[in-house]
Amino acid sequence: MRCICDASPDSASLATDETKGPLVAGRRGFGQTPKMRSGRYQARYVGPDLDLHTAGSTFETKAAAESWLSKERRLIEEEKWTSPKARAEAAKSAEAVRLASTFGVFAEDWLEERDLRPTTRREYRHMLDKFILPTFGTLPLSDVTPALVRTWHAQAALKRIPTQRARCYSLLRTIFKDAIDAELVDANPCRVRGAGTVKRKHQPVVLTRAELEELAEAMPPKHRALTLLAGLCALRFGETAALRRSDVDLDKGTVTVARAVVTVHGKKIIGKPKTDAGMRTVHMPPTVVTAMRQHLGSDISGGRDGLVFPGVGGQPLASATLYGKRERRVKRADGTEVTYAGHGFYAARQAIGQPTLRWHDLRHTGLTLAAATGATTAELMRRAGHASPVAALRYQHAVDDGDARIAAKLDQPTTKGAQL
């Protein structure tokens, strides 16, 4: 590109206003900055294309107009020049693209492109619609700032549900991480320290082996095998609720986890386990095999595809049914009190002196008891169905009979001081 400041005197004279001075670069400078009736200044010049170009707006001072001309001349000298009009149109188009790239549009595309389990997709859909899109949906991605995210995270509606708040924040952070990868934003606005985790209010109660057996005995007969299975094989409640008879192999002493019951918006559905690693085969200790044999022998309904632990009406067992009812004291009209005994898990945990025990604590119990047998981290993660990149690598090196060895040791007596 040829700079007009190097033009010959003849070509320069073609772009000269006799009353206001040169419009092109020459000995007397570059362009013009005439003062208008309003008192403001205009800036104009003849570009390399020999067309007259005027600044898109006027300037308050002559110095400001000359500064604009200096920048234009520098672009010409560096051979980076395009007309001010073309640049304005390009900036306008870029702004239109920016405004079209709202968080809501990107989030919808993000969700559609992800290979997610149906339950996970429904959960993300719910979190986006109820908690995230109302605040960020119409905003351009670049307009979502750390201050705005902090304000959203601190809102009262989310504070009342800390677990949901942590999940929503993690989802928002993940979406912006992918927006960075797509070069739509430069930085992640999600910078609230620790916002993606929830402080555990309930410390897990880990039972001894003797306490676990006492708990099973205190449970209703139809849930005794379930209690031992949860406490010695570390299965999640949803995994046990979805077990079918065909998943249990009493000859091999194994139970295969291939599905799980989950609750989505108050509705129970049977889907895949929590993670791919959750699909696994777990060896049962002889005690559990015996209990399962007795349990399955007591009910032959449903065939091989029947649920092992059915709930009301043959539906998957609900946690409310398993927990039962707490002991209640009711005051009568005459002033006397009557006590109604509790039943189910509530009554059983009270009977063994563990009133704060939760059902999920049985999973912690199962993993703790397995660790006490000398199981490696990889074996424990394999038995539990945990998923992580590190765990996945360890699984590859775990011996095939490791889980069977753990199950066998779970029935062996322990030495004093290492009570299970």
pLDDT per residue as tens digits for the range 299-356: 656 688 899 999 888 889 988 899 998 777 667 777 777 666 678 999 999 999 999 9
In this predicted structure, what is the pLDDT of residue 382? 86
Between CA 154 and CA 135 the distance in angstroms is 13
Indicate the average pLDDT of the chain: 82
- Return the closest-CA partner of residue 354 out of 212, 217, 222, 221: 212
Q: Is 174 exposed, middle or buried, given 0-12, 13-18 or 19+ CB atoms closer than 10 A?
A: middle
Are 176 and 134 in contact by the 8 Å Cβ rule? The answer is no
Provide the b/e sequence for 46-73 (b: ≥16 CB within 10 Å).
bbbeeeebebeebbeeeeebbebbeebb
pTM for this prediction? 0.57
Report whether pLDDT(5) > 60. Answer: no
Between CA 322 and CA 261 the distance in angstroms is 14
Between CA 343 and CA 327 the distance in angstroms is 8
Beta-carbon-side half-sphere exposure of residue 155 (alpha carbons within 13 Å): 16
> How many Cβ atoms sit within 10 Å of the Cβ of residue 246?
13
Cβ within 8 Å of residue 302, ≥6 positions away: 245, 310, 314
- pLDDT band of residue 212 (cuts 50, 70, 90) is very high
236 assigned to active site? yes
Residue 15 structure tokens? 């772009």
Cβ within 8 Å of residue 229, ≥6 positions away: 235, 240, 255, 284, 288, 291, 292
In this predicted structure, what is the pLDDT of residue 215? 96
> How many Cβ atoms sit within 10 Å of the Cβ of residue 124?
21
- Return the closest-CA partner of residue 414 out of 354, 381, 363, 373: 373
Residue type, 286: P
Instruction: Answer with the residue of higher pLDDT: 397 or 366.
Output: 366
360 assigned to active site? yes
Which is catalytic among the residues 236, 280, 283, 364? Answer: 236
> How many Cβ atoms sit within 10 Å of the Cβ of residue 276?
12
Which is catalytic among the residues 223, 280, 363, 364? Answer: 363
- pLDDT band of residue 399 (cuts 50, 70, 90) is very low
Residue 92 structure tokens? 């306008």
In this predicted structure, what is the pLDDT of residue 418? 44
Taking domain 208-310+324-329+336-420, whether its CATH number is 1.10.260 is answered by no
pLDDT tens for 154-167 read 986 777 888 889 99
Beta-carbon-side half-sphere exposure of residue 163 (alpha carbons within 13 Å): 2
Which is catalytic among the residues 125, 360, 394, 405? Answer: 360
386 assigned to active site? yes
